[in-house]
A and B are shown apart, each in its own frame.
Chain A
C-alpha cells in the first residue's frame, strides 16, 4: 500500500512520517506541495512542521498549495488522510475538520511524552486500537490549543468524533482535553500529538504510535 507524505516548504516531520509508514509495512511516497495530483496513493499524511513559516496563521498558506486541491477532493471522496500537528492545522484551515488550533494557553512551546486515551476506534487511522486504550506519544507544539464553539464541541462528542484525548495535565489548553478529531466519515483525522515519533523503541518513548499507521494499512488491505 502506498501512503503519500506531503512536503511543504517548512515541513519538518515529513521524513519521520515516511519512516513510520515504512516501519508499519507500507510504502512511503513523497508528495511535493506543488504537485497537481496525488500520484495514485492510497492514503496521505500531512506531516508536522512550520509550513511556509506558519506566517499569517498555522496552516493558512499551506491550504492554498497546489497539492491541496486534489487532496481535499479525494478526502471528501473517502481517501484516508492523517494530519499531524501542522497537518492538523492545515486540515482545519481547509475545512476538512472543524475548529481551530490556537497558541498554547501558557504561551510556550511544549515538548513532552504525552499520555492519551483513544476515544474512537471508528476511524481509518485508529481501527487497530482498543476503545479507551491509553497510549504515550510525543507532543510538541506552540499552537496546539484546540478550540471550537460549544455546538461543534457537543456535536463532536455526540457523534463520537473525538479520536484521542489528553490525560494528566492538559498540555496546551485544548477545549475538553481534545487531542485529535475526525470528520463524520472517519477517513480524515487530525492529531496534535506525534505518533510518527513513537514507532521504534530506540528513538521513541514507546511504540504506541505505530497503531495509527498499521490501522490504515490494514484497512486498505481489507478494502
Chain B
C-alpha cells in the first residue's frame, strides 16, 4: 500500500527506516517538526538524500562561506557559487563555465562505472548552464603503485574516464595522477569540465512562471544509484556493512552525447525557461532545487516518469541516480517546439508536472499525494553543523620531524642516480600510460594538452581567444600544514596557467578529506578552506564553485587532506601560448624565482626516504603574482619560447621534462653559492624555467630586473642529446626517457 500524506497524518507512530537511509535521530526529529507529522516514505527518501553530507554540505557550509566573504572584487564573474557551475566572462561576448567534482566513493566500489559517471555528472552540470562542454580534465589519486588493489582500481578508473569522455567527444586536456598509501581504499576521482557559451545563453536552474511545464528528458529512470549520495558518498567505508555496489550508477555516454546536442538545440531555439541536470539525489534534487529557486511551487505526477524498471517504488524513483537525465521548465507555448527537437534526437521526454503558485512541492502518485513539502526545507534549509575541530596532537610532532637530517646526495654520481630514481618514482614518472587512453584531439581546438603545465583550448577560431586550465593539489604539503597546503595547491595551478601565457581569472576547487566527525580532520578542512580563501583574495581569483568530498577514510585512517584546485585563465590569442618543452638549440635557459633549502613534503624526501615531516615550502603569493605577470607578458611579447613550472622533484625534474618534450639536449650549470643538491631538487615555490631566444635576452632580463624578480641564467638548449649538469654529471636523453616512461606501464601491465 502506498504511503500517502493522508496516511502519514493518521499513523504518526509508524516506525520509519531513517537510520538505514543515513539520517541521524535529531535530523529525523527535525523533519517531524518541519512537517508537523511524520514524513511519508517518499518524503523521507527525499530528505535523506538532500540532507546527506554530499548534497547539503552540512558540515562544510559554515567554512565555505569564506569563499564568498573574502571573494576578491572582480568584473569577470557572471555567475558565482550556488548554481550548477560558476560562469566567467572571457571577453568578445564569450563566457566560460567550469567546475571540478568528486566521484570518489563510487570509483572505489566500481572503478569503471564510478569514474565514467563522474565524468558524465560534471559534463551535465556544465551543460545545464547553457554551455557547450568543450573539454574535460581529471585529477586522480590512488594507493601505492605496487599495491595489488591499485592494479584493480587504476586501470578501471582510467578506462572509465576514457570510455565515457572519448565516447562523448570531449578532449581530455590534462589533470594529475598521484599515488600515496593513504588513498589505498579511498581513491580520489575528481573530474573537471569546461564549457563555452555566449553571455546571453546562460541558463539557470529555477522553475518560475505559473503553468510552465516540468519536463523530464533523456534516459529512463532505473534502479541504479539509489542512495548514492547518502549511504555511499556520505559515509566512511567499513567492512561490517553490506556491499554498496548497487548504489553506484551506470553510465551510457552515447545517451549523454545525444542529450548534449539535443539540449544545445533546445537552448538555441530558446524554448527552455530553466534547466537542471539530474545527478546526486536524482528527481528529489531536481524538483526541490528548481522549485525553491523559483518564485512559486511545483506539482508533479510521479507516475508519468518513464521507467526502465516498472517495479520501482515512488521513493526509489525519487532517489534513483540514473544518469543522462535533465529536467527542463518549458512555457506551454513552447512545448510543441521542445518536443519536436527532442524527437529529432530520439530523446524520450515526459511532461511530469507544472509550476504552481502554492509555494509547495506536491508530488502525486496515481492521484494520491505522497509528498507535500516546502521545497526550501528540502533543498536549502537542511541541517548545518558547526562540527568541533581541533589541531591534532600529532601535528607538532609531524612538523618537528624535519627532513634536514636525511642523507643527501653530494657527488655528481650520487646526484645523477638520484635524478634517475626520482624520474622513475610513481609520482614523477610519465603518465602517458594513462593519458594515451584519452582522446585529446576531438573538437579540433586543443592547443596544449597533457603533459603540458596546463591544457589550452581555442574557443573562438576567428580571434584566437582561448582559455587555459590546470588542476593541482599536494596532499603531503596539506598534511604538514593544511592552511599552507591549500595555498600551495592554488599557487601551483595559478602558476601552471601562467606558464602557458594565460592570465589567471578564476578558481574551482574539490576538497577531499576524511570524516568530518573527527575533530582533527575537521581542523584540516577548516584550515584548508581558510588558506584557500585568503590566497584567492590575494591573487584576485574568486572561487566560482566546486565540491566537497568528506568521509574519504576507512576505519580510523583518513586520506591525506587533499584540496584540489583548478584555475582558469584566458589567452587573447592562443597562437601566443608558450609550451613547456625546449625546442630550439641556442636558446638560453633562465630560472625565475628564488631557491631555498626546502624539502619538507618533497618528492625527494618521500621517494628516497619514505619521509614525510617538517613544513611544506613557504608560500609567497606576491611572488607568484609577479612571476605570473612576467610569464604572461613574456608570452604575449614573444620573449620566451618555452616555460615550465618548477614543482614536484624540483628543478632537475623540470629541466628533464622540458628536454624530453621534443628530445633536444641542454647544458646547465649550478650558480655559485648554492649547494647543487638544493639547486637541483628543492621544491621552493614561485619558480619557473624558461627558454629565451638570444635576440630577446636583453628585453627579457630588463623586464625581470625592472620588476625586481630573481632570474638566473642557468644554461643553454643544445642538440647534444644529453642533459649535461656541468661539472656534476651527464645523462643521455634516451636514458632519461627510459627512466621516466617505463614505471607505470611496467607496474600496471605486469
Contact = CB atoms under 8 A, between A and B. Distances in A.
Interface of A: 9-10, 12-13, 15-16, 19, 48-50, 52-55, 108-112, 138, 140, 142, 194, 196-197, 200, 202-204
Contact of B439 (A10, A15, A111, A202): A111
Nearest to A49: B169
B441 A194 contact: yes
A205 B439 CA distance: 14
A135 to B, nearest CB: 15
A138 B438 CA distance: 12
A111 B449 CA distance: 12
Interface in B109-164: 159, 162-163
A12 B254 contact: no
A80 B732 CA distance: 49
A202 B575 contact: yes
B169 A138 contact: no
A54 B346 CA distance: 16
Given A9-B345, A49-B169, A140 B254 contact: no
A197 B436 contact: no
A13 B440 CA distance: 12
Given A108-B437, A111-B436, A111-B437, A12 B442 contact: yes
B254 A111 contact: no
Contact of A203 (B168, B438, B444): B444
A9 B437 contact: no
Given A9-B254, A55-B254, A109-B162, A16 B443 contact: yes
Interface string B153-188: 000000100110011110000000000000000000
Given A9-B345, A194-B441, A108 B447 contact: no
Nearest to A10: B254
A69 to B, nearest CB: 19
Interface in B169-218: 169
Contacts of B607: none
Chain B interface bracket (under 10, 10 to 19, 20 to 34, 35 or more): 20 to 34
A35 B664 CA distance: 52
Contacts of A138: 441
11 contacts: A9-B254, A9-B345, A10-B257, A50-B257, A53-B252, A109-B162, A109-B163, A109-B439, A110-B437, A140-B439, A203-B447
A10 B259 CA distance: 10
Contacts of A142: 166
Interface in B563-583: 574-575
Contacts of B163: 109
B254 A50 contact: yes
Contacts of B167: 10, 12, 50, 53-54
A110 B447 CA distance: 19
A174 B447 CA distance: 30
Interface centre among B257, B345, B346, B446 (most CB of A within 10 A): B257
Contacts of A204: 441
Contacts of B438: 109, 111
Contacts of B444: 13, 15-16, 19, 196-197, 200, 203
Contacts of B437: 108-111
Nearest to B440: A111
Interface string B663-684: 0000000000000000000000
Given A12-B442, A16-B442, A196-B444, A109 B253 contact: no
A202 B441 contact: no
Interface in B693-742: none
B441 A9 contact: no
A142 B166 CA distance: 10
Contacts of B574: 202
Given A12-B257, A50-B254, A202-B575, A111 B169 contact: no
A53 B253 contact: yes
Nearest to A108: B437
Contact of A52 (B254, B440, B575): B254
A140 B172 CA distance: 12
A10 B441 contact: no
Contacts of B254: 9-10, 50, 52-55
A4 B435 CA distance: 32
Contacts of A10: 167, 254, 257-258
A53 B169 CA distance: 12
A112 B439 CA distance: 9
Contacts of A49: 169
Contacts of A19: 444
Contacts of B258: 9-10
A44 B619 CA distance: 57
Given A16-B443, A111-B439, A204-B441, 14 more contacts: A10-B254, A15-B444, A49-B169, A50-B254, A53-B254, A108-B437, A109-B163, A110-B437, A111-B435, A140-B442, A197-B441, A202-B575, A203-B445, A203-B458
Contacts of B252: 53
Contact of B169 (A13, A55, A196): A13
A15 B167 CA distance: 15
For the complex of A and B, the 4 pairs showing the least CB-CB separation, nearest first, are A53-B254, A12-B169, A16-B444, A197-B441
Nearest to B167: A50
B447 A202 contact: yes
Contacts of A196: 444
Nearest to B433: A108
B163 to A, nearest CB: 7
A19 B462 CA distance: 13
A140 B442 CA distance: 9
Nearest to B162: A109
A16 B441 CA distance: 9
Interface in B534-574: 574
B455 to A, nearest CB: 12
Contact of B441 (A50, A54, A110, A140): A140
B671 to A, nearest CB: 36
A86 B594 CA distance: 51
A52 B257 CA distance: 10
A130 to B, nearest CB: 25
B165 to A, nearest CB: 10
Interface centre among B169, B435, B436, B458 (most CB of A within 10 A): B169
A142 B346 CA distance: 26
A75 B441 CA distance: 29
Interface in B213-250: none
Nearest to A106: B749
A98 B267 CA distance: 42
Interface string B414-451: 00000000000000000000011111111111110000
A55 B252 CA distance: 11
Contacts of B436: 110-112
A127 to B, nearest CB: 24
Contacts of A52: 254
Nearest to B155: A108
B481 to A, nearest CB: 38
B437 to A, nearest CB: 5
Interface string B239-281: 0000000000000111101100000000000000000000000
Interface centre among A13, A111, A200 (most CB of B within 10 A): A111
B500 to A, nearest CB: 13
B308 to A, nearest CB: 16
B156 to A, nearest CB: 12
B467 to A, nearest CB: 14
A48 to B, nearest CB: 8
A183 to B, nearest CB: 27
A50 B253 CA distance: 10
Nearest to A201: B575
A112 B449 CA distance: 12
Nearest to A139: B441
Given A12-B257, A109-B166, A202 B458 contact: yes
Contacts of B447: 202-203
A9 B346 contact: yes
A1 B553 CA distance: 62
A15 B447 CA distance: 17
Nearest to B445: A203
A208 to B, nearest CB: 14
